[in-house]
Structure 1
């Protein structure tokens, strides 16, 4: 309710209860069904040893309205792949905003993992909206 009234301006959400077999590309495709170009950061947390996700991802939407419309579309809905009984849930992330997320991850060891396991940045306007942008280089190397 506070979000709908304009009092809560957070835009970074945690997408929870993701089936463990979902890849980051599957999650991108899922979000793009309704919100292509309306998010600029996505990271599906992975268990590198088992090559499965750990059930949650971080997504930064471009504005509060995108958070609201995405929540209305997905919260409480079953995931459609892999015959999962899991239901999509959202919560706000502790780290908020694109730049804070870049600062958190650019020097992280996750950036040394396979590209499909790394956080992703995306264009949000123009003809390239929804396309991936190269993640900024680390500052500590």
Structure 2
């Protein structure tokens, strides 16, 4: 299915910035960053990375796929948790080195920790104490990660 999707070679600035050919620029690790927001509210849900196959599968299926840097595997968001991200719109930035997904989410959560958004804490800025605690912006978890994923240790590297 994703084998039928082809990306154009990057040939000129005009082609990349003003043309209508998809010519994504993957970094030295073969990845492109992807910011994912809720289609209805615009809330930032997560930042992930896609390799070529993840981007092709996302385009082909209309569901978000990412490359897990910690586990080194292709990852269909929601395959385990049921929190599938259905792509409402996929955009690429001006120089085609970043992706923006607008998604609707079955289960209304995207964070493996159980919160709606992976950006559930704020860092206080400005003058004040040198060491200030992070401020929670979400007061409750949307789901129990242990019930969904089990007692397995978090795969995220520290």
- TM-score scaled to structure 1, two decimals? 0.29
Greater per-residue helix proportion:
1
- TM-score scaled to structure 2, two decimals? 0.27
In our comparison, the structure showing a higher alpha carbon Rg is 2
